[in-house]
């Protein structure tokens, strides 16, 4: 009888043990599956981004967002946010796409291209198409050129307390940006739209003059090398701030003159120079408005004259101050 009870007890213990073990294994599998699922969750891409990143197409040369980016920071995969390149490894190869002579270790995978001639580069984490790599061209000592589509990456700027970003509208943003991007102390410029009521407007929508936006240039500058006051003076000296219906031959509400201010200090400096110009006899049409959401314009608008190799048709520099 005692033997029977012991046998039964042992049997029950074994059942409990194996049941717990199965539950534990199932739990581990579920946990593993969740982790893998999270790894496979990528950023949502636009059709244009999918065309390059998934379907391995190529963006047009000299149109990429980061071609002329000189800011310090890190370039990450647009699809999965994996760090790919450092700004110190970027160089100007004049090929029409951002070029790097090195990658972050283990971040980029090389695979034979479908054409049988070139070597494709992809994100080692998610397989996103980046571009191609070329060797022994003599550009740098490393003899390596990663030719990368801007659209395949996102840029994370290095935190710098000396950098400051401001916004100016003075007609066609191609011309506004042309002068600011060449100014002393300016680290980066981007053209886009501000002041309207439509989210993420396209250039075509803004041109219809029913979104309320102005063509605007975002200017990031180093406060140790230049000042907001210097940039305000450049703003007034590079366009006709007395014109009330546009700028030069460009007529329309999207071309009006405006300074968007972020702080009371910026507003005060802008008003100071409007008063100076008024005292000189000018009828200043420039508006002052608080900063609102800045919407970046399409890639082909960025650094337009730099890519085209020409000068603005409705902006010119005239010394005033």
Give catalytic residues, as residue numbers. Answer: 147, 172
Strand partners, 135: 144
Q: Which of these, 38, 36, 153, lies nearest to 90 by C-alpha position?
A: 153
Contact 136, 143 (CB under 8 A): yes
Q: Please give the Cα distance from 45 to 164 (Å, whole number).
A: 30
Contact 180, 168 (CB under 8 A): yes
CB neighbour burial string for 83-112, b if at least 16 within 10 angstroms, e if fewer: ebbbbebbeebeebbbbbbebbeebbeeee
Q: Please give the Cα distance from 144 to 128 (Å, whole number).
A: 20
User: Strand, helix or coil at 303?
Assistant: coil
- Residue 243's contacts (CB-CB under 8 Å, 6 or more residues apart) are 257, 285
* DSSP codes, 158-204: PP-TTEEEEEEEESSHHHHHHHHTTSTTEEEEEEEEES-SSSS--HH
């Amino acid at each position: 009888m005692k033997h029977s009870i012991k046998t039964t007890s042992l049997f029950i213990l074994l059942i409990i043990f194996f049941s717990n073990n199965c539950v534990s294994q199932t739990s581990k599998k579920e946990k593993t599956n969740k982790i893998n699922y999270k790894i496979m969750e990528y950023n949502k891409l636009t059709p244009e981004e999918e065309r390059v990143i998934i379907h391995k197409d190529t963006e047009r040369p000299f149109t990429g967002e980061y071609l002329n980016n000189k800011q310090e920071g890190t370039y990450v995969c647009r699809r999965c946010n994996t760090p790919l390149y450092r700004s110190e490894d970027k160089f100007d190869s004049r090929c029409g796409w951002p070029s790097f002579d090195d990658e972050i270790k283990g971040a980029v995978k090389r695979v034979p291209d479908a054409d049988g001639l070139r070597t494709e580069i992809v994100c080692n984490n998610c397989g996103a198409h980046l571009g191609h790599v070329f060797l022994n061209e003599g550009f740098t000592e490393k003899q390596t050129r990663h030719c990368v589509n801007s659209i395949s990456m996102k840029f994370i700027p290095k935190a710098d307390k000396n950098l400051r970003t401001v916004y100016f509208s003075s007609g066609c943003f191609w011309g506004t940006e042309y002068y600011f991007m060449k100014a002393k102390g300016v680290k980066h410029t981007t053209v886009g739209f501000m002041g309207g009521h439509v989210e993420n407007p396209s250039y075509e929508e803004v041109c219809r003059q029913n979104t309320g936006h102005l063509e605007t240039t975002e200017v990031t500058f180093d406060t140790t090398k230049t000042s907001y006051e210097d940039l305000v003076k450049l703003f007034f000296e590079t366009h006709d701030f007395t014109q009330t219906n546009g700028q030069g031959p460009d007529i329309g509400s999207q071309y009006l003159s405006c300074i968007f201010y972020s702080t009371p200090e910026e507003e005060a400096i802008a008003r100071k120079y409007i008063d100076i110009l008024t005292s000189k006899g000018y009828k200043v049409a420039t508006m002052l408005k608080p900063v609102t959401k800045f919407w970046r314009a399409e890639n082909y608008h960025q650094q337009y004259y730099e890519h085209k190799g020409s000068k603005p048709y409705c902006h010119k520099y005239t010394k005033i101050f």
